[in-house]
Amino acid sequence: MKNKNSIDNSKERGEVHLKTKHALSQNTQLQQFKVDLHIHTVLSPCADLEMSPVNIIRRAKETGLQVIGITDHNSTKNAKLVKRWAEKEGIFVLCGAEVTTKEEVHCLAFFESENELNEFQQYLEKNMTIIPNPDGHFGYQPVVDENDTILEMVDHYLPAALKVGIHDIQQKVYELNGIFIPAHVDRQSNGIYGQLGFIPAKLKFDGLGISKRISEKDVRKHYVIEKEITIIRNSDTHFLAQMGEICTIFYMKEMNFYEVKMALSQQDGRYVENL
């Protein structure tokens, strides 16, 4: 006859087994998605003139990218058009920008709704450092329509550092329910470690971006980054040929903004994996 302890232990093992089966069942519902969250359009002065919204989606489809992030320097003005084109091809687009903080740290910011995106665009314009860009001296910065017709030529240098610091920008992004990711942290130029030497203790973020030139393993070892912090490899595409060179695999149930956010936060079984 079993004693009480053995019955309790057996019950406990059964509960653990059921929890494990439940977790496995949840994970089997996850799908793999090829993701690149750092792509510039023709609006960025350092991007090739071939980086039109139409060409970006065509190239994403060719390379099998399923989720992409549009991240022009300090501007969201071409992002919505890319998203509209992407919907026709079954590709999910995160609309946002690559923001240059007062400390000259590059950070990616993404938003779910057009209202939030528009409000962040106003925030960027309000805090922009105006450096003239006469006759495309630093590179042309066109806002285009679906026919690649130029609607506006931005006449100030978009990548210039904003007048606000990284904490203020992060707080604004979270106020708008956005995603905040310090970009290419392994780079000495405009990476958070290169500019600040460390990640501020009170800074909140959804993950860290790294460049295609380094592995996640090497970054974690060099900067002593805990496994609880998600790291994603992005292409930082400026030319069409760069799209698809690398990607991160996101394990999610479907392609939407909050699934991406949950995968970055490692919530409810979602996670990412760098190839």
pLDDT tens figures, 108-134: 999 999 999 999 999 999 999 999 999
Report which residue type is found at 198: F
Q: How far apart are CA 142 and CA 136, in angstroms?
A: 10
Q: How far apart are CA 82 and CA 196, in angstroms?
A: 33
pLDDT at 193: 98
31-274 maps to which CATH number?
3.20.20.140
Q: Confirm if 116 and 79 have CB atoms less than 8 A apart.
A: no
3-state secondary structure of 73: strand
Q: Confirm if 53 and 81 have CB atoms less than 8 A apart.
A: yes
210, 185, 211: which is closest to 200 by C-alpha?
A: 185
pLDDT digits (tens, 9 = 90+) for 18-65: 343 344 445 569 999 999 999 999 999 999 999 999 999 999 999 999
pLDDT at 9: 43
CB-based contacts of 101: which residues, under 8 Å, 6+ apart? Answer: 107, 161, 162, 164, 165, 166, 169
The structure's pTM equals 0.90
pLDDT at 237: 98
Q: Where are the domains of the chain?
A: 31-274
Q: How far apart are CA 70 and CA 43, in angstroms?
A: 11
C-alpha distances in Å from residue 119, one per residue of 19, 23, 116, 178, 179 = 43, 39, 5, 12, 15
pLDDT at 46: 97
Q: How far apart are CA 72 and CA 40, in angstroms?
A: 5
pLDDT at 17: 41
Q: How far apart are CA 20 and CA 237, in angstroms?
A: 40
Pairing of strands 208-210, 231-233: parallel
3-state secondary structure of 94: strand
pLDDT at 275: 84
CB-based contacts of 241: which residues, under 8 Å, 6+ apart? Answer: none
Bridge partner list, 237: 39
Which helix (H) or strand (E) segment holds residue 179: the answer is: strand 179-182
**Residues in the chain, pLDDT under 70:** 1-28
Residue 245 DSSP symbol: S
pLDDT at 18: 38
